[in-house]
């Protein structure tokens, strides 16, 4: 029984140890600014097209679906409100995070994993650089900065998607749509909509780095690490969003 | 007494390394002094590569002590290890080159990043001069802007040697430098190792499973005047500086000179003898 529990507990301990060291490095020199900007480009700018695309369609589909439900109460005019709240609070952060987890979490895990199996991580340590400082911390910083931005963009594009549907198919005027959408949002929605991507970003970067650096067993191991990183990060995204939502609901009542 | 005056470069005292429940190295003790060459034989998984990782501080010993340049590194924090590692050059099994960097950046890496450890800042010109020198040494100065993936296995190994030697380390470690290479390329690599050892009198540790490599290194030396590798003949001072070690399943089963190795009758150790019976 104990043997069954031991590996996951040890893995969790290693994970928090790695996270602790990555966070501690934020306040320690040397800082690899070049690497941070390179990662910001890969993670942020690179993910922009797909985040914009899914953001637009999720907003559009939300408007369509909600209009059907709202029409039973004759409240189709409120569609802007519903789209704004669901997007900013939940869909925007979660969808962007899932996309970035799939795109960059896997990328981080496979990159660090191949470096690990080809002894590049060892070489890095042997040549006098701390791989956590040089590889993990820049990825953590870059993801934590870029994911909130991506989420904001995704939210906004999603609202535009809803607007396109509302004006072309639901006979709602643009001003009515934007008015209800704008009025529906309060500060706590924005706060929760920005806190979530920040937490998701830390999970995506750290889980990717963790599985990447733990890779063993050659090319096959790299594949395994990549899959694990995406699956674990995605699950954690859902768990975290539930808890954060619960906390915000609890605070606001 | 005179022997004790020579500086110890690498010393293991009852070092044991464990991976989960498996013993990778079991109670290994030896000492390598300045200017010596040590050839380490062993089958795959015998613990010879782990031994190198302990020497670099990449792998912690479960018990015992490892001394590098006289300093006990067993319990040093990672940050303190950087200063020691700056004095060690290492060639990893597959070269260990960073495939996101060009050959030039790879070779410059130790020069750029060692300033954190030894507080020495080199100018850009100085770095590129030394990088070119190191690449010329391995005869690859035309590959500066290439990426490791564009090079052959032997060339990658040569770039690895250039990168290991560029910071002029006091100790060079080679982890299976000829693994997976054809015999001709393997010979080129061994010649480079001999040349690197003899031009700067660097203490050298070579881990290999090919007996040919070990016996070449033990019997040949670089002649700076002719620029060739030649047989060392019966020069006693040269031969007594070269010792062999054989690892078997984590144990150090043999430590001695080439002559002593040739006299061994144990079937495992005999696999590494130059004279086949």
| pLDDT tens figures, A26-81 | 888 788 888 999 999 999 999 999 999 999 999 999 999 988 888 888 888 888 88
Instruction: Indicate if B94 and B64 belong to the same structural domain.
Output: no
Map residue B215 onto helix, strand or coil.
helix
pLDDT in tens, A5-19: 888 899 999 999 999
- Could you tell me if residue B83 is inside a domain? no
| Cβ A195 vs Cβ A147: under 8 Å | no
- Domain of residue B105: give its range: 88-169
* Least Cα separation, residue B225 to chain A (angstroms): 32
CB contact under 8 A, A123 and B53: no
Residues B69 and B193 in one domain: yes
Number of domains within chain B: 2
Mean local confidence (pLDDT), B142-153: 89
How much of chain B exceeds pLDDT 70, in percent?
Answer: 95
Each residue's pLDDT tens digit, B109-118: 888 876 655 5
According to the model, what pLDDT value does residue A54 have? 94
**Where does a domain end: B134, B154, B169?**
B169
Through-space distance between the first and last CA atoms of chain A, rounded to whole angstroms: 43
Nearest CA in chain B to A21: B78
- What is the predicted pLDDT for the residue at A218? 83
Q: Looking at the structure, do residues B116 and B13 belong to the same domain, yes or no?
A: no
pLDDT score, position B116: 59
Read off the pLDDT of each residue in A142-158 and give the average, rounded to a whole number. Answer: 95
Find the closest chain B residue to A114 by CA distance: B99
Beta-strand (E) ranges in B159-277? 171-175, 203-208, 220-223, 228-231, 242-248, 251-256
Q: Which long-range contacts (CB under 8 A, 24 or more apart) does B4-8 make?
A: B6/B33, B6/B34, B6/B35, B7/B33, B7/B34, B7/B69, B7/B70, B8/B32, B8/B33, B8/B34, B8/B67, B8/B69, B8/B70
Report chain A residues whose CB lies below 8 A from the CB of B117. 128
pLDDT tens for residues B236-257?
788 888 888 998 888 888 888 8
Among chain B residues, CA nearest to A120: B96
Question: Minimal CA–CA distance to B86: which of B7, B165, B169?
Answer: B169
Instruction: Choose the final residue of a domain: B169, B196, B230.
Output: B169
| pLDDT reading at A130 higher than 80 | yes
Chain B residue closest in CA terms to A116: B96
> What share of chain A in percent tops pLDDT 70?
100
In a shared domain, residues B182 and B273 = yes
Q: Are B93 and A119 in contact (CB under 8 A)?
A: yes
Mean pLDDT estimate for chain B = 85
Say how far apart CA B68 and CA A107 lie, in whole Å.
38
Whole-number pLDDT of residue B115: 62
Is the per-residue pLDDT at A170 higher than 90? no
ipTM beyond cut 0.90: no
Predicted pLDDT at B118: 59
Whether B82 is covered by a domain: the verdict is no
pLDDT at A16: 93
User: Confidence class of residue B1 from pLDDT cuts 50, 70 and 90?
Assistant: very low
Inter-chain touch B99–A118, beta carbons under 8 Å: yes
- pTM score, two decimals? 0.87
Quick one: B62 and B186 in the same domain? yes
Q: Give the closest-approach CA distance of A198 to chain B in angstroms.
A: 28
Residue B110 lies in a domain: yes
Rounded CA-CA distance B218/A11 in Å is 45
Is residue B140 domain-shared with residue B92, that is, in the same domain? yes
Chain B contact present for A120, CB below 8 A: yes
**What is the pLDDT averaged over residues A224-229?**
93
Q: Is residue B235 part of a domain?
A: yes
Q: How far is B254 from chain A (nearest CA, A)?
A: 28
Last residue of a domain, one of B144, B169, B194: B169
Residues B139 and B4 reside in one and the same domain: no
Write the CATH number for B126: 3.40.50.300
Question: What's the angle, vertex CA B115, arms to CA B114 and CA B119, rounded to 5?
Answer: 130
pLDDT grade for A237, boundaries at 50, 70 and 90: very high
């Amino acid at each position: 029984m104990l043997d069954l529990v031991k590996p996951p507990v040890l893995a969790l301990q290693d994970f928090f140890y790695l996270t602790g060291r990555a966070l501690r490095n934020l306040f320690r020199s040397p800082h690899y600014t070049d690497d941070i900007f390179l990662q910001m480009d890969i993670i942020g700018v690179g993910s922009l097209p797909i985040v914009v695309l899914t953001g637009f369609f999720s907003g559009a589909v939300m408007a369509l679906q909600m209009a059907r439900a709202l029409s039973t109460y004759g409240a189709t005019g409120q569609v802007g409100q519903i789209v704004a709240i669901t997007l900013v609070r939940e869909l925007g952060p979660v969808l962007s995070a899932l996309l970035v987890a799939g795109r960059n979490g896997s990328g981080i895990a496979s990159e660090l994993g191949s470096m690990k199996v080809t002894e590049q991580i060892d070489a890095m340590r042997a040549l006098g650089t701390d791989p956590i400082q040089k590889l993990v911390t820049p990825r953590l910083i870059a993801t934590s900065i870029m994911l909130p931005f991506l989420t904001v963009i995704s939210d906004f594009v999603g609202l535009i998607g809803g607007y396109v549907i509302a004006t072309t198919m639901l006979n709602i005027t643009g001003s009515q749509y934007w008015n209800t959408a704008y009025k529906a949002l309060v500060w706590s929605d924005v706060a929760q909509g920005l806190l979530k991507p920040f937490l998701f970003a830390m999970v995506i970067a750290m889980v990717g780095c963790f599985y990447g650096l733990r890779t063993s067993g050659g090319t096959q191991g790299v594949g395994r690490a990549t899959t694990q990183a995406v699956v674990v990060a995605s699950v954690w995204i859902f768990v975290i969003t539930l808890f954060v939502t619960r906390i915000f609901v609890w605070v606001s009542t | 007494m005179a022997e004790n005056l020579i500086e110890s470069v690498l010393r293991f005292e009852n070092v044991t390394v464990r991976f989960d429940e498996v013993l990778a190295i079991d109670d290994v003790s030896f000492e390598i002094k300045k200017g010596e060459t040590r050839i380490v034989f062993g089958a795959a998984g015998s613990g010879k590569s782990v031994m190198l990782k302990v020497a670099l501080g990449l792998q912690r010993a479960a018990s015992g002590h490892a001394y590098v340049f006289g300093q006990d590194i067993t319990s040093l924090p990672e940050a303190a290890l950087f200063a020691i590692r700056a004095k060690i050059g290492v060639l990893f099994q597959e070269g260990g080159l960073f495939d996101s960097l060009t050959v030039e950046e790879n070779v410059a890496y130790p020069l750029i990043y060692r300033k954190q450890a030894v507080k020495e800042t080199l100018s850009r010109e100085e770095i590129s001069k030394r990088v070119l020198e190191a690449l010329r040494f391995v005869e690859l100065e035309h590959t500066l802007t290439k990426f490791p993936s564009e090079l052959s296995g032997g060339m990658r190994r040569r770039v690895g040697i250039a990168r290991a030697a560029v910071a002029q380390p006091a100790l060079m470690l080679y982890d299976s430098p000829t693994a997976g290479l054809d015999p001709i390329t393997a010979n080129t690599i061994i010649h480079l190792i001999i040349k690197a050892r003899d031009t700067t009198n660097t203490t050298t540790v070579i881990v290999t499973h090919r007996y040919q490599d070990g016996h070449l290194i033990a019997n040949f030396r670089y002649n700076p005047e002719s620029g060739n590798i030649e047989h060392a003949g019966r020069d006693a001072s040269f031969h007594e500086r070269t010792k062999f070690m054989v690892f078997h399943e984590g144990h150090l089963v043999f430590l001695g000179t080439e002559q002593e190795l040739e006299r061994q009758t144990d079937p495992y150790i005999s696999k590494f003898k130059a004279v086949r019976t």
